[in-house]
A and B are shown apart, each in its own frame.
Chain A
Amino acid sequence: MAKTYVSATINGESAEFLCETQQTLLDVLRDVIGLTGSKEGCGSGDCGACSVIVDDRLVCSCLMLGVEAEGKSITTIEGIANGDTLHPIQQKFLEYAALQCGFCTPGLIVATKALLDENPNPTETEARYWLAGNLCRCTGYDKVIRAVMDVAADMRGEKVA
């Protein structure tokens, strides 16, 4: 089958790739570009493990086609840290052990980044419902929510008591 040429920005760098028209963005990221950090948990937009940021919008990459990435800027979990330095969100998840098996974690980190980009000062309820699209089966969300609230305060320059 003829492949389609796509030009996009991925994690701040220009990227060109060929993909089949029916390939999802998630499959393109994982199988064509080799960025396996985004995960498939359901393939139907219910679990959020494949979350990426596309032009400032939080997107389930399993619900978007690779060809739709043309001209777009995409941030995946691999683009969150600054080299070897963890992003403050990742650092806070580490401090709280806000992950267990780690499979949903890339999606949660990306979704938290999108939350705090849009709303640096969420209430706990806002954080809980923003992350309601990211299913985690290990943590019960308790440590996740505490890490998110704490890092939000840090990033605003406040100190949580």
Chain B
Amino acid sequence: MDVELRPKLVGQRIKRFEDPRLLTGAGRFVDDITPPGTLFLAFRRSDHPHALIKSIDLGSALSVPGVVAVFDATDIENDLRPAIPSSRMKGYYATPLWPLARGKVRYVGEPVLAVAAESRYAAEDALDRIQIDYESLPFANRAEDAVADGAPLLHEDAGTNAIVVRSFGRGDVDAAFAGAAFSVGATFRLRRKTPVAIENRCYLAEWDKRRSALTLHSSTNIPGVIRDVLSDCLDLPGNRLRVIAPDVGGSFGSKGSLYPEEMLVAVLARKLQRPIKWTSDRLEDLASTSQAFDEIMQAELAVDADGRLLGLKADVIGDIGAYSIYPWTGALEPVQVVSFMPGPYRLENYQARVRGVVTPKAPTGPYRGVGRPAATFAMERLIDMAARRLGLDPAEMRRRNLITAPEFPYRSASGIIWDRSGFQECLQAACDKANYDSLLRKRDEARAEGRWVGIGFASYAELTGIGSRISVAPGMPINTGTETATIRIDATGSITAAFGIASHGQGLETTLAQVIADELGCRIEDIEIQHGDSALVPMGTGTYASRSAVLGGGAATLSARVVRTKVLKAAAHLMELPVDKLVAHNGIVSAPGSNQSITFKEIANAVYAQMGRIPHNAREDLVASETYDPYFGTATSATHLAMIEIDTGTYGVTVTRYVVAEDCGRVINPMIVDGQVQGAVAQGIGVALLEEVIHDDDGQIVTASLADYLIPIAGTMPPIGIVHVETVLPPTQGGFRGMGEGGTIGAPAAIANAVSDALSAMGIEITTLPITPDRIFQLITQQGSLPQ
């Protein structure tokens, strides 16, 4: 068969190699590992939002059987340096990160002291016997209060609570608004949420006295970043500090930052010279794992009489919580809200200001979609509000404004360069897949019966697979733009491919093997993918920001090609044929047109184990280590279409139809992409309808269990239809675009638009998410249009 016509593995629904172990309970998560002699930590956390620590009385804590030691900040002061989430951004204040509160607490849930004991039970029993006296300090609980002049400061050294301030401007916004037919605007509010990976965070550190070396098993998706920062904090070189992320039970961003508990287990393993483990419980997770969103977005859109977008103004306050998170900084979420607000649309005039404000709440950090769910919520609502004003169909409104094929590459009003992606095509595909005209008829029939049914769209574009041209987080001085793959064929002919990425549900052990098998010409079952270990490659930052298929796949491609060339050269010697006559496929090198062939195993044996089979001055190890840098990123685009019904008695919203049409370039494994999209949409539906971290006026967290903080369940999730649109392949290696986050970007806006559509007869526009039954009730009663 012609080489080009041979079936490729990329594009196939290959069953995941991860699954047999995970399906049988043989997965190995950090908490499944307990070396002999392990001590378990339990934390006493602040129950004050803002207070000075006046005194700590250990009482009889140390007399609880099994308790070994208790530590507060003063006990470890000389054991480490803090982590500083620095940024190149002007006027930014980096809050230092220490493992335990030093003299002052800044949110309910902040770790104050830790008990180390022979069991978690003993450690927790000891916590109850410790008395901490606090002196309460004034605090501003809401971001809009914290940003005001004279508000109590959380970090006195910063001199302000607004530790991030940035402005964008392009074109002449005032002229655009002056010349507009009309404008629409509102203050949008995306409430605080928390990621809720089902595996809670867990860290296990072991000190190797013989080598003076530390191994940290961490439920992290950035093991390389953690290695690098702890190297500085602990003053340990990288060859004596290894961070391993074994099976990791989901992250969605929550395990993509450095945590105080993570630092402390490392410090104490060295200090006590015993294995130290801490496993979060769910209460601690809901109180202290990085949270997300929490924005107030004042936005206004100017439109001409034909519905064309003329100008956009945005003023955003992001409530970033008590600390700027390492390494992403508190700029990550709010700055991206204004960066992405112009969306996938043709829009030349834009003016925006953003302030990231510290408040006494758990730090916010990366969460699936970062900034774009909020930006898309505001912009897509404005698009629908403008369409309603014009009496224009929302699909047609988008069609008129989405960037069209000839306009790419398009520089957005905030400076993002969109490469060609299916902006228009996804809109059309979503309408076709859902049979939009028939949905409209069904909606209108339902309304005629007095039911509250609505349809909503959301179109968005995001930058994925970002290379070294820009940092994933604005101003962050860490290189997030490269990844390395080391591929080697050993003397037995088996293949190992090692990466700096850290798969935690994405199925990268499968998709990267598909890429390598195609490029190297080996059998997929001969490949072992290694990842989630800082020792595998010199530098790798991990899996986040929809980057691993693009960067990991790109590095895999480059390395596999080098190894294939070496395999073919060795085979050429063994077969006594010119190298350009040979092809590799399925683990066999053959010469088309002849019946000569040799297996990879035979080649490896000849290269490594047999002296003289290959001339000594031509012999090369069958290894390669290449690094890929896509330099720019590439645009992934999509349109979501949701149909919802509101129960007229309970005001509960049910999603009855959901369709996603996305362009993620070449699909490596459709089954895996479907899973990413469906899972992300479910989280987006959670954002839209359920999920909200609530603090009361005293700064206490009210949503402190999974009975109070609700996430989507099987009973209420709709089936999710997906169309993969492949327009033009992007210039990334392999033509891949990232698709890990998009579902969560589109769904909140699509649902918000659908609910607004359902309530349009009452003149209600949704401006706050989540849309709980209580909020719908409030909106309807405020309008005075409560039906009988």
* A residues neighboring B (CB under 8 Å): 1, 20, 22-23, 30-31, 35-44, 46-47, 49, 76-78, 80-81, 86, 90, 93-97, 99-106, 109, 125, 127-129, 131-145
Partner of A142, one of B20, B121, B196, B717: B717
- B348 in the interface, Cβ–Cβ < 8 Å? no
Tell me whether A100 and B505 are in contact (CB under 8 A): yes
Tell me whether A103 and B249 are in contact (CB under 8 A): yes
List of B residues within 8 angstroms of A143 by Cβ: 671, 674-675, 678
Tell me whether B250 and A137 are in contact (CB under 8 A): yes
Q: How far is the CB of B367 from chain A (nearest CB, A)?
A: 12
- B679 in the interface, Cβ–Cβ < 8 Å? yes
For residues 278 through 304 of chain B, which have their beta carbon under 8 Å from a beta carbon of chain A? 279, 281-282
Tell me whether A40 and B714 are in contact (CB under 8 A): no
- B681 in the interface, Cβ–Cβ < 8 Å? yes
Mask, B25-36, CB within 8 Å of A = 1, is 111010110100
Partner of B199, one of A41, A96, A141: A41
Tell me whether B714 and A102 are in contact (CB under 8 A): no
Show 8 A/B contacts (Cβ-Cβ < 8 Å), sorted by A. Answer: A41-B198, A41-B200, A47-B706, A90-B23, A94-B16, A100-B675, A139-B682, A145-B719
Partner of A76, one of B21, B25, B195, B715: B25
Closest A-B pairs by Cβ, 6 of them:
A37-B25, A103-B249, A102-B22, A140-B682, A101-B505, A77-B25
Given A35-B25, A132-B713, A22 and B121 touching (CB < 8 A)? yes
**Chain A: CB-nearest residue to B249:** A103
Q: How far is the CB of B506 from chain A (nearest CB, A)?
A: 7
Partner of B719, one of A31, A35, A101, A142: A142
List of B residues within 8 angstroms of A131 by Cβ: 714-715
Tell me whether B707 and A128 are in contact (CB under 8 A): no
Given A38-B25, A142-B678, A102 and B282 touching (CB < 8 A)? no
List of A residues within 8 angstroms of B719 by Cβ: 142, 145
Tell me whether B198 and A136 are in contact (CB under 8 A): yes
CA distance A29 to B199 in the complex (A): 17
Given A42-B282, A44-B707, A101-B249, A106 and B25 touching (CB < 8 A)? yes
CA distance A97 to B670 in the complex (A): 11
Tell me whether B681 and A101 are in contact (CB under 8 A): no
CA distance A43 to B286 in the complex (A): 13
CA distance A129 to B713 in the complex (A): 8
Number of A-B contacts (CB under 8 A): 185
Tell me whether A101 and B683 are in contact (CB under 8 A): no
Q: Contacts A46-B282, A105-B27 given; 8 further ones with Cβ under 8 A?
A: A22-B121, A39-B249, A93-B19, A100-B507, A109-B23, A132-B714, A132-B716, A140-B720
Partner of A20, one of B121, B198, B676: B121
Q: How far is the CB of B652 from chain A (nearest CB, A)?
A: 15
Tell me whether A77 and B24 are in contact (CB under 8 A): yes
**Chain A: CB-nearest residue to B125:** A22
Given A103-B29, A140-B681, A81 and B24 touching (CB < 8 A)? yes
**Chain A: CB-nearest residue to B22:** A102
Tell me whether A102 and B707 are in contact (CB under 8 A): no
Tell me whether A42 and B705 are in contact (CB under 8 A): yes
Interface size on B, residues (CB 8 A): 60
CA distance A94 to B676 in the complex (A): 16
List of A residues within 8 angstroms of B706 by Cβ: 42, 44, 46-47, 135
Tell me whether A37 and B675 are in contact (CB under 8 A): no
CA distance A32 to B19 in the complex (A): 26
Partner of A137, one of B15, B252, B676: B252
Partner of B675, one of A36, A97, A125: A97
CA distance A129 to B715 in the complex (A): 5
For residues 4 through 18 of chain B, which have their beta carbon under 8 Å from a beta carbon of chain A? 15-16, 18
CA distance A20 to B16 in the complex (A): 40
CA distance A97 to B15 in the complex (A): 7
Tell me whether B65 and A1 are in contact (CB under 8 A): yes
Tell me whether A101 and B720 are in contact (CB under 8 A): no
List of A residues within 8 angstroms of B32 by Cβ: 30, 36
CA distance A42 to B197 in the complex (A): 11
List of A residues within 8 angstroms of B714 by Cβ: 127-129, 131-132, 134, 136, 141, 144-145
Tell me whether B200 and A86 are in contact (CB under 8 A): no
CA distance A139 to B715 in the complex (A): 14
Q: How far is the CB of A42 from chain B (nearest CB, A)?
A: 4
List of B residues within 8 angstroms of A38 by Cβ: 25
CA distance A129 to B675 in the complex (A): 21
List of A residues within 8 angstroms of B333 by Cβ: none
CA distance A127 to B504 in the complex (A): 27
Tell me whether B29 and A140 are in contact (CB under 8 A): no
CA distance A127 to B34 in the complex (A): 36
Q: How far is the CB of A28 from chain B (nearest CB, A)?
A: 12
List of B residues within 8 angstroms of A142 by Cβ: 674, 678, 717, 719-720
Tell me whether B198 and A47 are in contact (CB under 8 A): yes
Tell me whether A132 and B282 are in contact (CB under 8 A): no
Q: How far is the CB of B393 from chain A (nearest CB, A)?
A: 28
Tell me whether A37 and B198 are in contact (CB under 8 A): no
List of B residues within 8 angstroms of A86 by Cβ: 20, 23-24
Tell me whether A93 and B720 are in contact (CB under 8 A): no
- B225 in the interface, Cβ–Cβ < 8 Å? no
- B405 in the interface, Cβ–Cβ < 8 Å? no
Q: How far is the CB of A100 from chain B (nearest CB, A)?
A: 4
- B248 in the interface, Cβ–Cβ < 8 Å? yes
For residues 675 through 729 of chain B, which have their beta carbon under 8 Å from a beta carbon of chain A? 675-676, 678-683, 705-707, 711-717, 719-720
List of A residues within 8 angstroms of B34 by Cβ: 31
- B672 in the interface, Cβ–Cβ < 8 Å? yes
Tell me whether B19 and A99 are in contact (CB under 8 A): yes
- B110 in the interface, Cβ–Cβ < 8 Å? no
- In this complex, the member of A23, A99, A100 whose beta carbon has the largest number of chain B beta carbons within 10 angstroms is A100
List of A residues within 8 angstroms of B741 by Cβ: none
List of B residues within 8 angstroms of A80 by Cβ: 24
List of B residues within 8 angstroms of A39 by Cβ: 29, 198-199, 249
Partner of B198, one of A30, A103, A128: A103
Tell me whether A101 and B197 are in contact (CB under 8 A): yes
- B247 in the interface, Cβ–Cβ < 8 Å? yes
CA distance A39 to B281 in the complex (A): 12
CA distance A134 to B681 in the complex (A): 18
Mask, B659-670, CB within 8 Å of A = 1, is 000000000000
**Chain A: CB-nearest residue to B669:** A97
List of B residues within 8 angstroms of A135 by Cβ: 198, 706, 711, 713
Partner of B26, one of A37, A95, A127: A37
**Chain A: CB-nearest residue to B219:** A103
Partner of A128, one of B26, B250, B282, B715: B715
List of B residues within 8 angstroms of A132 by Cβ: 713-716
CA distance A94 to B403 in the complex (A): 40
Given A39-B29, A49-B198, A44 and B705 touching (CB < 8 A)? yes
List of B residues within 8 angstroms of A136 by Cβ: 198, 714
List of A residues within 8 angstroms of B715 by Cβ: 125, 128-129, 131-132
For residues 30 through 50 of chain B, which have their beta carbon under 8 Å from a beta carbon of chain A? 31-32, 34
List of A residues within 8 angstroms of B675 by Cβ: 97, 100, 138-140, 143
Tell me whether A78 and B198 are in contact (CB under 8 A): no
**Chain B: CB-nearest residue to A144:** B714
CA distance A31 to B27 in the complex (A): 16
List of A residues within 8 angstroms of B199 by Cβ: 39, 41, 101, 103
List of B residues within 8 angstroms of A22 by Cβ: 121
For residues 235 through 269 of chain B, which have their beta carbon under 8 Å from a beta carbon of chain A? 247-250, 252
List of B residues within 8 angstroms of A44 by Cβ: 282, 705-707
